[in-house]
Chains A and B, each alone.
Chain A
Amino acid sequence: MAAEPKELRDDALNGLRLSTQLERVWRTPPGLLGALMSVDHKVVGRRYIVTAFAFLGLGGLLAVLMRIQLAGPEKTFLSADKYNQIFTMHGSTMMFLFAVPVMEAFAVYLVPLMVGTRNIAFPRLNAFSYWMFLFGGGFLWISFLFNVGPDVGWFSYVPLSNLQFTPSKRADVWAQMITFTEVAALAVAVEIIVTVFKLRAPGMTLDRIPLFVWAMLVTAFLVMFAMPSVMVASTSLILDRLVNTRFYDSSSGGHPLLWQHLFWFFGHPEVYIIFIPGTGMVSAILATFARRPVIGYPIVILSLIATGLLSFGLWVHHMFVTGLPQLGAGLFTASSMLIAVPSGLQIFCWLATLWDGRLVYRTPLLFVIGFILIFVLGGLSGVMVASVPIDTQVHDTYFVVAHFHYVLIGGAVFPLIGAVYYWFPKIAGRVLSERVGRWNFWLAFIGFNIAFFPMHILGLIGMPRRVYTYTADMDWAHLNLVSSAGALVFAVSFALLLVNVIYSLRKGELAGDNPWGASTLEWATSSPPPPQNFDRIPVVKHRDPLWADGESLPVVAGLSTDRREVLLTSLAEAEPQVREASPEPSIWPLLTAIATTIFFIGSIFTPWAVLWGTPPMAIALIGWFWPKGSKEDEA
């Protein structure tokens, strides 16, 4: 018998032939169907980013509507009912459909590139995650357009969200949107953890992992441990509402505070799920534009881990006015304030880096500096609200609204916009306009502070949050007007970002592989990266490979060029272990997501949907996992 032609490996090909061969194997199939089948982490990541930013736009639009309503006393621009839906939609959209997903989206796009591999782990799960996110968000917003938008606040306290006080479907819509986003977020968390643990380029030992990747790894663990709590909470709520279980009903042995404990056991880590990726972005941008590695690499990593652990021990500070025992509450004051220590350590490392660095003032660095100014202030007001006596005054007032926008916008959105300017060249192949970027930064920085600083004072002089109007004799009108004006300026800064992106996509300066002279692996490939990410997998010998080895990174060879293959390495030392097949494009993740969506939405109308909704899901999953003989097995 004639010898089988041996499979072709990447050591047998070179240059253009290697590139085209790999591209043929890894590319997303053409056409609409191909687009729906894509499992390329870059394609999915790009979609994820764009969708999350679309939700930012929608959430921001709602914020502007709220600020118009509150610009003066007793305005009738929005009715009470509309206002309550709008602030709930704003909070839910920002937290569940923008802030968490956008961070995961950047991780989906960047982590595989930064660790030097060809695709994310579990790429089909990744595609499925995106579809679930899209359908969940679409479901919430379509419900809102049909006037069934949730109106019980983004933390949906019971008993207000019980059937008795919210008989419409509004609270069900909220709770089921949570289920969608949980599924999506947990899926990405698993992918990130496995990608970081098993797919790193050879030689990328634990102490050579880029800080951004470390941040996303810690975030992924937070998602894994926090999400189940809100899943239990929201599922119990739906059960209470649909089949009359009584988890939260105090008249039959349940308790409304159970909801608050479960929600905040998730809800507090949630804000670190948003903030920790922001710190990763800051570290990445800072190293590049200070032209030196971030000072205190091990301190930053230990701080990230400490922040993650501590974040599970302070949920009770959201409940200081529910009548807890005094000593217990006092202890949660201390644990809450202690989180200032790891956050502070990171800030000190960044300040030292800025101190020593040769600063290159491009837009991403401006946003990082803005981040430090705003976030530190938000952190300090956080120390105040952690104090029980102070919190009894400022809890549920505009002081808290100011505080959490300082930490969320300062700690996550500013780094994020910096990250957009920073990584846009990699993703789009063109650089964003620097001139527009500067305007963007200054309008954002000034607009933000004018919008939110006065809210601190408003809270102290008595303005509660979540009120759709106030009377003229309350002395709140001037500061509210100032705040609303600032919000408009802030909104304009986002419009500029959009203009910049649209303009630069076509007309921007070409980026080249590494426009900023950065040090991490994503800059070692072309911009935008080819479907296979790297023609040959790089070998890492240094924490800052592109600075240490210049443009000529050492590589490993031996992966197949006939089919999709990634290299698995060991957990700590990243020594090459085995070649592993990586899945082909598939339509099944989309079909599974559609079946799951029908199941989830159906079940808020009838419990029977749990019954008839299951078979389609089962069929889709069987299709997804149907064993196909792989080429390796045939050989």
Chain B
Amino acid sequence: MSVWVRGVLVLCTIWPLAACAGQQSALDPQGLQSEQIQHTLFIFLVIAAIVWIAVVIVLGVGMLRRKPLTDQPLDLDQAFEERSGRVVLALGIATTAIVLGLSFVSYAGQRTVFAKDEHVLTIKIIGHQWWWEVRYEADRPHQSFVTANEIRIPTGQPVKVELESADVIHSFWVPSLTGKMDLITGQKNELQFTARNAGVYRGQCAEFCGLQHAHMAFAVIALPPDEFGRWRDHENQSAASPSDQLGMQGEALFRGRGCALCHNISGTMAGGQLGPDLTHLASRTTIAAGTLPNTPATLAGWIADPQHIKPGNLMPKMPLQSDELIAILHYLEQLK
């Protein structure tokens, strides 16, 4: 049996090398913090493997040793009893030393992971059942804007997220960049991280937050700083006004059919605050908090019946004729 188990253990230690392709993985670090955590993890993993194998070896040898049978269970060798007592205590002391050593390793890693930087880009993130509100708040108000479920950041620069909740507890987790931090009702938490490389890093709510907890994902998109700057300038602008007849019809329906009660589109009369901001919806990659890729077909399906796609989510099914749906869709597609 020990061979089999050891095989599994070997599999476990080589697995990380095989799994580097994951887009949401603690074993695929792309940020300063996640790299540090992986480093700590590997130290622990190696020590754990050594201890476990040692136990298996002692157990195996102990089981294989031939011992004369006796029907006198109390006929014990006093010298052996005392010796084994001392060995046990020595191993206990060794265990103490190991765990204290590991505590220091852990604390050193923790200091690095949670080190604070002064010059940071600050983004406020508010958790909702079941989506993420993302607020870029700059000193100059015209540089402040709101988006949802997608966080763009510059590479190589420390980013601070301020975490709050609008309802229940959620947890912000982008394993490829750093560990998680909860968004707690009535409390402000924060987390800093730095992306090394450009890329799309998936994140997901990690604290059970009700019915659709499974569909509360988001993306962190790390861009080279100049590209990030361009995106930010673009995002600051109000929504483009629809250029064609159908689009204008769509905009009117967006307000007339109740969408605007919950959704905001900057620069228009749609100012709802309950649902995600849609000002630049068409430039986002997913809809419904990472539930579906953002394509005209999926968007149409969502608006036609959100309860079918993400049952129980807080967007009601709106009664729309199919030509109305087409107009609204056409309008939303222009919100680049």
Q: Which residues of A contact B (CB under 8 A)?
A: 79-81, 84, 152-153, 157, 159-160, 165, 250-251, 255-257, 291-293, 295-296, 299, 321-323, 326, 329-330, 333-334, 337-338, 340-341, 344-345, 347-349, 351-352, 354-359, 369, 372-373, 376-377, 380-381, 383-384, 386-397, 445, 449, 453, 456-457, 460-462, 464-470, 473-475, 519, 542, 544, 547-548
Contact = CB atoms under 8 A, between A and B. Distances in A.
A396 B73 contact: no
A380 B52 contact: yes
B314 to A, nearest CB: 12
Given A80-B214, A321-B179, A256 B169 contact: yes
Given A251-B186, A333-B106, A344-B91, A165 B167 contact: yes
B79 interface: no
A518 to B, nearest CB: 10
Interface in B12-33: 12, 15-16, 19, 21-28
B51 A380 contact: yes
14 contacts: A84-B213, A250-B185, A291-B70, A323-B184, A323-B189, A330-B106, A348-B91, A373-B1, A387-B44, A389-B41, A389-B109, A392-B113, A460-B25, A461-B28
A389 B2 CA distance: 31
Given A389-B179, A460-B27, A544-B74, A355 B169 contact: no
Nearest to A369: B59
Contacts of A292: 73-74, 76
B55 interface: yes
A347 B58 CA distance: 11
A461 B25 contact: yes
Contact of B67 (A159, A321, A357, A460): A357
B192 to A, nearest CB: 12
Contacts of A341: 92, 95-96, 99
B45 A384 contact: yes
Interface string B27-49: 11000001011001100110010
Contacts of A358: 67-70
Given A321-B182, A372-B59, A326 B84 contact: no
Contact of B40 (A81, A337, A389, A464): A389
B238 to A, nearest CB: 33
The number of chain B residues touching the other chain, given as a range, is: 35 or more
Nearest to A446: B4
Interface of B: 1-2, 5, 8, 12, 15-16, 19, 21-28, 34, 36-37, 40-41, 44-45, 48, 51-52, 55-56, 58-59, 61-63, 65, 67-70, 73-74, 76, 80-81, 84-85, 87-89, 91-92, 95-96, 99-100, 102-103, 105-107, 109-111, 113-114, 129, 167-169, 171, 173, 175, 178-182, 184-187, 189-190, 202, 204-214, 311-312
Contact of A395 (B45, B63, B206): B206
A390 B37 contact: yes
A347 B91 CA distance: 10
B208 to A, nearest CB: 4
Given A160-B210, A334-B100, A461-B25, A80 B40 contact: no
B208 A159 contact: no
B8 A453 contact: yes
B70 to A, nearest CB: 7
A462 B204 contact: yes
A467 B213 contact: yes
B99 to A, nearest CB: 4
B92 A344 contact: yes
A470 B214 CA distance: 7
A159 B167 contact: yes
Contacts of A152: 208
A431 B205 CA distance: 51
B110 A356 contact: no
Q: Which 5 A-B pairs have the closest CB atoms?
A: A392-B179, A250-B186, A462-B24, A467-B214, A355-B62
A129 B309 CA distance: 47
Given A334-B100, A397-B206, A387 B106 contact: yes
Contacts of B186: 250-251, 255-256
Contacts of A369: 59, 63
Given A80-B214, A453-B12, A383 B73 contact: no
A337 B102 contact: yes
Nearest to A324: B189
Contact of B114 (A293, A326, A449, A548): A326
B209 to A, nearest CB: 6
B182 to A, nearest CB: 5
B324 to A, nearest CB: 29
B73 A291 contact: yes
Contacts of B12: 453, 456-457
A160 B205 CA distance: 14
Contact of A464 (B51, B61, B189, B205): B205
